[in-house]
Amino acid sequence: MGRVQDKIVLLSGAASGVARETATMLAREGATVVLADIDEQAGRCAARDIGQNASFVRLDITNEADWHDALLNVRARFGRIDALVNSAAICRAESIEDTSLDLFRTVLRVNAEGTFLGCKHAVLHMKETGGGSIVNLSSTAALVGHTGLCAYTASKGAVTALTRNVAAHCRQKRYRIRCNSIHPAGIRTAMSAAMLEAMDEETMSFESNPQSGVCEPQDVAHMILYLVSDESRFINGAEFRVDNAYLTSIG
């Protein structure tokens, strides 16, 4: 029996990167995974590659109606949703001086508002079906000031604070819903390439050090697997750094 046997898991941004890797890992461990993404072609391809325990639903995370429909779809098909992984995000590498208001709003809308909508609608369903686990992908950028990532840093800071709020709310309401955040550093994905280019000299020095290594999507997927599983049943409102001591090293 797998570590997440028979769990129903929805993952946003699952056409590629961390969420796709996570969906593959969860399916191997017995979960039924629903891959959600705005890129329908890539998302359906990813679901086919994973196999019979995977399906796809189109989701624009900035559209509340899409969230409503996606979660309703999952619940209608499977009777419940056991876990939500909020992974979809965008990154634009600009400093505070170069970031336009439009750019700032766009990044916040996708990364912060998209995660908010996912959390809100997941809670509304999970509270009626026995609880569940919400995993929000934040970043080390939320915990330290990367100078070239103004809007991204602000958006991931919002995700981190929102995670605490959701966890506290569900505990107060006695819902059996957990909400935790994961904070990777420099994952080897297409989106992270822009982030690494924008990092300050001290950060780049750490990332380019052979001793540091590079965070791979599966490194983050393993942490998500743990937080989705019942092994983490008493962990709620926590922040998990997947950074090979990056934040500790820059002190």
Q: In the predicted model, is pLDDT for residue 107 greater than 70?
A: yes
Give per-residue pLDDT as tens, 112-166: 999 999 999 999 999 999 999 999 999 999 999 888 999 999 999 999 999 999 9
Is residue 188 very low, low, confident or very high in pLDDT (cuts 50, 70, 90)?
Answer: low
- CB within 8 Å of 245: residues ≥ 6 apart: none
What is the distance between the alpha carbons of residues 134 and 155, in angstroms, rounded to a whole number?
18
Which has more confidence, 81 or 212? 81
Catalytic residue among 152, 175, 226, 246: 152
pLDDT tens digit sequence for 35-59: 999 999 999 999 999 999 999 999 9
Cα separation, 54 vs 77, in Å, equals 13
Q: For 124, what's the count of Cα atoms within 13 Å in the CB-facing half-sphere?
A: 13
Residue of higher predicted confidence among 30 and 187: 30
pLDDT tens profile 7-32: 999 999 999 999 999 999 999 999 99
The CATH code that applies to domain 8-250 is: 3.40.50.720
Tell me, yes or no, if 175 is annotated catalytic: no
Among 141, 155, 228, 227, which Cα is nearest to 187's? 141
Mean pLDDT of 216-241: 98
What percent of the chain is predicted at pLDDT more than 70?
Answer: 89
pLDDT at position 146 is: 81
pLDDT attached to residue 135: 99
Q: What are the residues whose beta carbons fall under 8 Å from the beta carbon of 123, sequence distance 6 or more?
A: 134, 166, 169, 170, 175, 177
93: pLDDT strictly greater than 50:
yes
Sheet with 132-137, edge to edge strand ranges: 54-58, 32-37, 8-12, 83-86, 132-137, 177-184, 239-242
Judged against a pLDDT cut of 60, whether residue 196 lies above it is answered with no
Domains in the chain: boundaries: 8-250
Q: Under a CB-based contact definition with an 8 Å cutoff, are residues 213 and 13 in contact?
A: no
3-state secondary structure (DSSP) of residue 179: strand
Tokens of 125: 């369903």
Chain Cα centroid distance, residue 214: 19
